[in-house]
Amino acid sequence: MFPRYIAVGSLLLLLALTACQPTPSAQEQPLPTIAQIEAATPVPQPTYSLDDGLRVAILFLDFWSAGNYAEMYNRIAFASQEATPFESFERIYTAAARSMTLTSLQYTGITLFPNSVRNDIATFNYAVTFQTERLGQFDDPDRRMQLVVDPHNGEWRVAWTPGDIFAEMGSGGQLRLDLSPPLRANIFDRDDLLLADMNGRIVVVRAVKNKIADWGQCLSLLAPATARDPAVLQGIYDESSADWLMDLGTMETFAYEQYATQLETVCAAEFSSRISRRYMFNGAVDGRPMANVLGSIGFPDEADVPRLAEVGFDSDSIIGKSGVERFWDETLRGQPGATLQIVSPGGTVLRQLARTPSQPAQSIWLTLDSDLQAETLRILDNAYKSGLAPQTSRGASAVVMNVHTGEILALVSYPTYDANVLLPFPPMGRQSADAIIRQLQADTRRPLLNRPTQGLYPLGSVMKIVTSLAVLNEGIYSLDTRYTCNGLWNRDIVRVDWLPGGHGTQTTQDALTHSCNPFYYEAGFMLNQYNPFTLPTYARNMGLGVLTGIQDIEEEQGLIIDPDWKARLSSIPWNFSDAVNMSIGQGEVQVTPLQVTRMVAAIANGGQMVRPELVWKAGLLGEAPSFVNTPEVDTVVEIQPEVLEALRAGMCNVTQRQDGTAEYQFRRSELQTIGVCGKTGTATDGSSPSAISHAWFAAYAPMRDPEIAVVVMVENSGEGSGVAAPIVRDILEYYFFGIRK
C-alpha cells in the first residue's frame, strides 16, 4: 500500500427559523404549506466511507498496472460504461500502451479529499511513472481521478473518461509517438567512392478524414499511388477520428507527378518530401557492379516487427533485407529518436510527455575496389558477348581476395541487375521497377542469385590440389612416387583420362600440372584404403563444403560427403568409388567459388585459412572509426614444407611450362614477368547427360610473393583452360598492370 494523506471535511447543514417583529395577528399569518415544511426540514444524507473510495482507486490502478482492462472496467461508474462500451475502453488503453511502447507503470498516491458540497464525490490525486521500451522512463506527476458513489449499486466507482489516461485526452487529445530515425548511413568502397547514399526523394501523403468527400473514390486513387494494400488504407481510415490528420503512405516522384492533382481534388491530400536510398557508381545512378554485394532494403516482414519495435522501428521502417545492407543493418540504420506527445485532432501539440534523442547511423567502407569490381564485370560481360562463354552458359562468378588478410577486392556475379529496382521507392518508378523484377524472377539465368557465395557446383579438377595435399601430407605417396598414366584406370570400375593415351609416367607435381585423371583415380583409391575419412577431412579442412565464416553477406555451405554422411542419408553404403569421384571434384561435391578462393589463398599463404571480409571499417563521417577490420585466421592447415613447395610448383607450371594445361593462355602475357600459379577445372554438370561442363580456373599471383587469389567459374561453358583461364588472365593483367582489353 502506498503512503496516503487523506483530508476529510464534514458538511454541517444549519437551518435557522427566525421570527420577525411585530408578529402579525393570527388572521394575518398565512399557514405554511407542506412543501415549505419539507424544505425547511433538514434531510439526512447517507455517509460514504472514503476508505472504500480509496480502495476502488487503488484497485483500478493495480489492474492498469497488470494490464487487466476487464477488471478496470468493472471499477468505473455505470454512466461511464454507458458512454464507453468495454470494447472501446479496451481499445483505447491498448492503443495508448502501444503508442507509449509501455512495459510497466508504477503509481504513488498523494491525497484523497471529498467534494466540498457532496459527500458522494471525491478526488484522488496521484502520480504515475511509466516505463517504456522506446522512451525509457517518464513521469506524469499531477494526476486527478474523480470518484463517485454510483447510484446503481451505492458503491464508489471511477467516473472515468479518456482523461484518466492523460488529462488532455479527456477533451479529444490523442497520443502520438513520432519516431525520428536518423538517415540511413552511406556505403563507400575502400577508396571512399560513394556506393549508396540517401539522396533519393519520396513524397509523404496525408489527409484529414472529414475533408474527404468520397472515401471510396479516394481509396481507388490512393492504393495505386502509394502501392499499399487497400485493406491497410481502409484500416487507417476506420481507426481515425473525423478530424484526424491521417498518414496514408508514400509515393515515388513518378507517382506524385501522375496522381498529385487527383489526390488533392478527391482526397484533399497534403504532401511533404522525404529522402530515400539510392545506389550509385562512379557518380552515376547505376547499381549494377555492386548489386550482389550491396543487397537490398525494404519494409520488415510481419514476423520481424515485434523485434524491431523493441528498438524503436515500426512496420513502415526501412531495414536491410539482403547483402551488406542486411548484415550491417544495425550500423547503417542507427537508433531512432522518439517523441511522445498529446495532440489535438487537428494536429496541434497539447503536451510533450517524453523524448529520447536518436543515435546517428554509421557509414561502412567495403574492402571492394570499385574499379576492379567494374572491370571484372566488364571482362565477364565481354566473354559472353564475344562468344568465349557460349549461350548455353547461364552465368558466372569471379572472386579476387587478398591471400593474407581475407579482404575481398572484387566479388562479381553475372548476369547482374540494377540494385535500385529493389528499393522500396525505386527511382524509375514502382510500375517500371515491378516489371523489371518480374523479368528478373522469370529469367532462367537467375540473376538475383549471388553466385560467388550462394552458387553450388562440382569442383572438377581444381579438387586435385586437395587430393595432392592429402596423399603427400599423409605419406601415402612420396614426392618421388610415380604412376604411369596410360589414359585408362581399372579397379573393378573403369575410368578414362581426358587426354587419349594418357600423360605417361607422373609424379604428384607433374600430375597436378597436367591434370592427369588416372593418377588421381588411383590416389583417391589409395586414400580410401588408408582411411575413408582422410580425403573428406582434408577437403573440409581446406574450406570446401563448409561455411567460410564471412559475416557480411549470405552464403551456402555446400557439401563434402563421407562414410558417416552416406550411412545417415543414403541407402547405398560408402564405396571406394565415392573417394575416386571426390578425388577429381565430382560425385557429391558441392562448393561455392568463395570457398575455392579461400582454399587457393591457403596454398599461397602457407596454410592459413583466413576469414573472407567485405567490410573494412565503420564509423561516423569525419570521426575516428568505431570498427576497423582485423584479419582473422580461423585455422592453420599443417602442410609439410616440401609438400607445399611441390603443390605450388605444380600449380605454377600450369601457366609457365609448355605442357601446362593453361600455358597457352598466358604465353604472351605480361603476367609471365611475375608468375601466375593456378589450376584448371572442367566439372561435369550432373543435372542432365547432355549438360555442358562447368569451367573453373583458380589462381594466385605473384608466384614468389603471393598477394591475391582469383577464382572464376563459368557455368556450362566447356573447359576451364579454354573459358575460365583467359578471364582470370584478363583480371590479373588489369590488377597488376592496368591492362584493359
The structural domains of the chain, with segments of one domain joined by +, span: 50-171, 187-364, 454-737
What is the distance between the alpha carbons of residues 664 and 284, in angstroms, rounded to a whole number? 39
pTM of the entire predicted model: 0.79
Positions in the chain short of pLDDT 70: 1-46, 282-285
Query: Considering only the top CATH level, what class is 454-737?
Result: alpha beta
Q: Which three cell numbers stand for residue 497?
A: 583420362
Residue 171: what pLDDT? 93
pLDDT of residue 44: 54
For the chain, what is the radius of gyration of the CA atoms? 39
Rounded to an integer, what distance in angstroms lies between the CA atom of residue 378 and that of residue 513?
Answer: 30
Instruction: State the pLDDT at residue 728.
Output: 98
Query: Tens digits of per-residue pLDDT, 510-561?
Result: 999 999 999 999 999 999 999 999 999 999 999 999 999 999 999 999 999 9
Q: Would you tell me how many other CB atoms lie within 10 Å of the CB of residue 392? A: 12
Question: Tell me, what's the pLDDT at 35?
Answer: 56
Residue 284 confidence (pLDDT): 58
Q: What's the pLDDT at 28?
A: 47
Tell me the angle at which helices 641-656 and 593-605 cross, rounded to the nearest 10 degrees.
120
Q: Which one-letter amino acid corresponds to residue 324?
A: V
Vertex 292 angle, CA 290 and 297, to 5°: 90
Q: Please give the grid coordinates belonging to residue 367.
A: 574492402
Residue 195 corresponds to which amino acid? L
State the architecture of 187-364 in CATH terms: Alpha-Beta Complex (3.90)
Long-range contacts of 316-321 (CB under 8 A, 24+ apart): 317/179, 317/181, 318/184, 318/276, 318/277, 318/424, 320/295, 320/296, 321/295, 321/296, 321/297, 321/422
Residue type, 75: R
Dihedrals phi, psi of 242, to nearest 5 degrees: -60, -40
Contacts of the segment 726-730: beta carbons below 8 A, 24+ positions apart: 726/383, 726/388, 726/665, 727/379, 727/380, 727/383, 727/388, 727/396, 727/398, 727/697, 728/676, 728/678, 728/697, 728/699, 729/665, 729/666, 729/669, 729/671, 729/676, 730/379
Fold held by 50-171: Nuclear Transport Factor 2; Chain: A, (3.10.450)
Opening angle at CA 599, ends 596 and 603, nearest 5: 140
What residues have CB less than 8 Å from 533, skipping those under 6 apart? 562, 563
Partners of 489 in the β-ladder: 495
Q: What is the pLDDT of residues 96-130, one digit of tens each?
A: 998 998 999 999 999 999 998 888 999 999 999 99
Q: Which are the contacts of 51, defined by CB distance < 8 A and separation ≥ 6?
A: none
